[in-house]
């Protein structure tokens, strides 16, 4: 029986073969990886959320025109052309899915996680969101309603989680690291 390689090992082996055969320039690969690590990813969405938590006028703008408000912070581009924000409350919990494929707001969340693209998540979260959320570590009380939002080629969603208690004195730079990708999709709470 052959031993199965981890995804990281398979990726490294594939990259090695592509470089060896001169099909890929390693510096180009490093540039792409760096861009997604530094410039495109959940840290962008976290900055949007932290700004909304600390600046009421920005939050109001985000509610009215999320695309423009997010672009004002420097986060725009493909997969982020039409953004809508959803705010978590004590009464309603929002969760995002793309039932047709995996439409995802790349400028603010980076690449979609594998579970987001999984057909089981895509179908089950619509039919039984409370059970799926509980399985993902986000159990909700029965008195909290759940709204499932279906992303599409026309609109992408960003969930603004509730600000954690005791963070009233923190600024954007201290708040942003508290915000997780999963909370901005609605499968986790802070």
Which homologous superfamily does the CATH classification assign to the domain defined by 40-185?
Answer: Nitrile hydratase alpha /Thiocyanate hydrolase gamma (3.90.330.10)
Residue 138 known to be catalytic? no
Strands 145-150 and 156-160: unpaired
pLDDT, residue 76, reads: 92
Scored b (16 or more CB within 10 A) or e, 39-59 reads: ebbbbbbbbbbbbbbbeeebb
- Contact of 149 with 19, CB cutoff 8 Å: no
Q: What is the pTM of this model?
A: 0.83
Among the options 27, 57, 76, 103, which is catalytic? 103
| d(C-alpha 33, C-alpha 10), whole Å | 16
Residue 151 known to be catalytic? no
Among the options 6, 76, 102, 138, which is catalytic? 102
* Domain range list for the chain: 8-38, 40-185
pLDDT, residue 38, reads: 66
pLDDT, residue 190, reads: 96
Among the options 16, 101, 114, 123, which is catalytic? 101
Among the options 98, 123, 151, 152, which is catalytic? 98
Q: pLDDT at residue 30 above 70?
A: yes
- Contact of 145 with 91, CB cutoff 8 Å: yes
Q: What percent of the chain has pLDDT over 90?
A: 72
Task: Give residue-wise pLDDT tens across range 57-114.
Answer: 999 999 999 999 999 999 998 888 999 999 999 999 999 999 998 899 999 999 899 8
| Residue 159 main-chain phi, psi, to 5 deg | -90, 130
């Amino acid at each position: 029986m052959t031993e199965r390689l981890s995804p990281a090992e398979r990726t490294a082996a594939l990259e090695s073969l592509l470089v060896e055969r001169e099909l890929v320039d390693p510096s180009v690969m490093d540039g792409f990886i760096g861009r997604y690590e530094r410039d495109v990813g959940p840290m962008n969405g976290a900055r949007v959320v932290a700004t909304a938590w600390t600046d009421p006028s920005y939050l109001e703008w985000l509610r009215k025109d999320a695309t423009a408000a997010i672009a004002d912070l420097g986060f725009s581009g493909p997969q982020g052309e039409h953004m809508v924000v959803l705010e978590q409350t004590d009464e309603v919990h929002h969760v995002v899915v793309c039932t047709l494929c995996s439409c995802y707001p790349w400028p603010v969340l980076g690449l979609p996680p594998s579970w987001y693209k999984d057909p089981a998540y895509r179908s089950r979260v619509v039919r039984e969101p409370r059970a799926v959320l509980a399985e993902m570590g986000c159990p909700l009380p029965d008195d909290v309603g759940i709204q499932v939002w279906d992303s599409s080629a026309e609109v992408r969603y960003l969930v603004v989680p509730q600000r954690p208690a005791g963070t009233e004195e923190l600024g954007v730079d201290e708040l942003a690291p508290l915000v997780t990708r999963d909370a901005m999709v609605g499968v986790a709470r802070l």
